[in-house]
Amino acid sequence: MVDYVDPELVLAECPYCEHAVLAREIGALGKPEHVNNWKWAWRYVLARCTECSGPLLLAHDAPWDRLESIWPNPHGRELSNSIPEALRREHSEARACLKAKAYTAVAVMVRRTLEGVCADQGVTRRQPLVASLRELHQQGRIEGRLLEWAEALRVLGNQGAHYTGVQVSREDATDALALAEALLDYMYVFTSQYEAFKARRSQPRSAPGTE
């Protein structure tokens, strides 16, 4: 097994430390002997990071012979499939930039994601991003607090779009990414769920005793 340094230490990517660490194995569960059609990893390892003491759940996949962190999810929360794939791709690239500590690139990718949302919603006029979001708000498609949040994020303005000589901070990049995620959820997950709920409720119910 390539990843085992000694019987109790494993090499793993720690999401808290954000780099490869040695983790101490606390316990493990393997594939039961009698199960042949096992589709999942063949071994799950509960371990503790030797640098930050954070808990990690790792999975060992036989075909690739490697340990992967499955909790906490190193890639962040999975976005819903109701979000258009092109927008999910932009957002996941923004996340990758944050992981790589490329904070200005995060701002650029978040802007692209939000511009994509506006375009997808039919707001394509050439105007600053915040003006497009304001337009979506006026049409009743963006909630007021999301707009306020977008207006307050300086990185969504010139700082993220053009050369200003000012670096984007980690905090600003993290906030921008969180806003993009909230906006995608609001626009494509909550809104459509709510519309479906309203449609279901407006359907005439069958009279009592007829079911």
Find the shortest distance in angstroms from Cβ 23 to Zn ion: 8
Output the six-digit token pair for 24.
Answer: 């101490």
Stretch that binds Zn ion, among 15-23, 99-107, 174-182, 190-198 (CB under 5 A): 15-23
Cβ 8 to Zn ion, closest distance in Å? 16
Binding mask of the shown chain, residues 50 to 69, with x at each position contacting Zn ion by CB under 5 A: -xx-x---------------
Q: Is cis: bond before 63, omega within 30 of 0?
A: no
Residue from 9, 11, 17, 161 in contact with Zn ion (CB under 5 A): 17
Q: CA 165 to CA 145: how far, in whole Å? A: 30
Taking the C-alpha atoms of residue 48 and residue 69, their distance in angstroms, rounded to an integer, is 12
Query: With respect to Zn ion, which residue has the nearer C-beta, 74 or 84?
Result: 74
Nearest to 151 by CA among 99, 109, 114: 114
Stretch that binds Zn ion, among 9-17, 81-89, 162-170, 177-185 (CB under 5 A): 9-17
Omega before 84 within 30 of 0, i.e. cis: no
Site residues (vs Zn ion, CB under 5 A): 14, 16-17, 49, 51-52, 54
